[in-house]
Amino acid sequence: MKPTDKTIEPINICFSSLFFHLNDMHNSQLLVFFTLFSAVKWVVGESGFCSENGYESNVIVTESIYHKVTNPTLSPIHLQDLPGFTRSVYREDHAVITPESHVFSPLPDWSNTMGAYLITPAMGSHFVMYLAKMQVLSRSALPSEDVERFLFVLQGTVTLTNVSGISQELLVDSYAYLPANFEHSVRCETSATLVVFERRYVNLRNLVPEQIVGSTAMQPLLDTPGEIFELRKLLPTSAAYDFNIHIMDFQPGEFLNVKEVHYNQHGLLLLEGQGIYRLGDNWYPVEAGDAIWMAPFVPQWYAALGKNRSRYLLYKDVNRNPL
Ligand SMILES: *[C@@H]1O[C@H](CO)[C@@H](O)[C@H](O)[C@H]1NC(C)=O
Ligand SMILES: *[C@@H]1O[C@H](CO)[C@@H](O)[C@H](O)[C@H]1NC(C)=O
C-alpha cells in the first residue's frame, strides 16, 4: 500500500531520510544524524513487550495516527495507584475491554507474536477479535479450516504474501481480507501491531469472496442518511462477504442519531478520540484503545466528546439470513 504522509511513522522517516541524505552530508551533519540514529535505536530497543500487560507506559515509540491504541492511557492518572481499578466491564449482552486489563500471551502457531483475545465465542460472539503484537522476524499462522480473516495495521509494517507468491507491504491504516482456506502469510521484520477478526465463513449459493487489500484513506465516504458521522466500508458490500468492517468518524459533539437496536453483532476498537458509549442502560466513558463487544439487540449509541475527532473500527455481520 502506498503510504499517505499521515500514516508514515516518524521512525521510518528518520531511517529513510538518513539513507537518502547520507551522501551529501558534511561531517557535522553526519554526527547529528548518527546521534539521532542511536537515539531512535535506543527508543526502539526499549520497546520490548516485557511489561506485564504488553504495553510500554513511558516510552513513546511511534506517532502513527493510531498511536493511542498501541500507547494507551492505562488508567486515569489520579487512579493509577488505586489497586484493583479497571474500567473494563463484562455483561451478558456487552463488554468494554480497556487496555489496563489486556493480557497478552503467545499466539498459537504464530512465531514471535503476542496476542490478546478481546472478543471470543465464550462471550456469545460468532467471531474472534484480537490484537497481535508481531515482534522481530515474526510470522502468522493460517486460521482454522473454513475460517476467514480480516487484519488491520495499527502500528508498524507487515508483509502479506499470498498463494500466488505476491507480496505486499501493509502500513498503518492498511488492511487485508483473506477468504477462508486462502493460503497466505503475514511477516514482520521489526515490530507491528494488528487488530484481527476471524469467523467461520457462511456460504451463500456459490458466491466466492476474494482477497481484498486496501487502506482506509483510499476508501470513499459513503452516504449516511439522517446521520452526521463519516462512514467508510473496508470490504465490498456484495453478498459474497458475510461481514463488513466500518470506519466511523465523529467530530467532537457529534453523536449517533439512531439509537440502534439490531440483530447484528459488533466488535469495536476505538482508534482515536474519546466519548460516551451507551450500551443497554449503561453509559461508558471511552477513549482510544478501548474495545467493545455488542451482542445482538443491545441498545447502542455513541457521542464524541473532547477536542479531537473520534474514529472507530467496527465489525458487523451482514448479508446472511439470521435464521
Ligand atoms: C495475490 O495478490 C495479488 C495482489 O493483491 C492479487 O492480484 C492476486 O489475485 C492474489 N492471488 C489470489 C489467488 O488471490
Ligand atoms: C488532539 O489533537 C491535537 C492536535 O492534533 C494533539 O496535539 C492533542 O494531543 C490531541 N489530544 C488528544 C487528547 O488526543
pLDDT tens over the chain, length 323 residues: 444 434 334 333 333 333 333 333 344 443 444 444 444 333 333 333 334 456 654 444 447 889 989 888 877 777 777 888 899 999 999 999 999 999 999 999 999 999 999 999 999 999 999 999 999 999 999 999 999 999 999 999 999 999 999 999 999 999 999 999 999 999 999 999 999 999 999 999 999 999 999 999 999 999 998 899 999 999 999 999 999 999 999 999 999 999 999 999 999 999 999 999 999 999 999 999 999 999 999 999 999 999 999 999 999 999 999 99
Separation between Cα atoms, residue 116 and residue 80, nearest integer Å: 22
| Residue 56 near residue 71, CB atoms below 8 Å | yes
pTM for the whole structure: 0.81
Measured from the CA of 162, which atom of ligand 1 is nearest?
Answer: 1
Burial class (CB in 10 A: 0-12, 13-18, 19+), 35: exposed
Domains of the chain: 5-70 (no CATH), 77-317 (2.60.120.10)
User: Cα of 15 to ligand 1 centre, how many Å?
Assistant: 30
Q: Is the CB of 25 under 6 A from ligand 1?
A: no
Spatial distance between the Cα atoms of 251 and 238, rounded to a whole number of angstroms: 29
Distance CA 35, CA 14 (A): 12
Q: Residue 264 C-alpha to ligand 2 middle, in angstroms?
A: 33
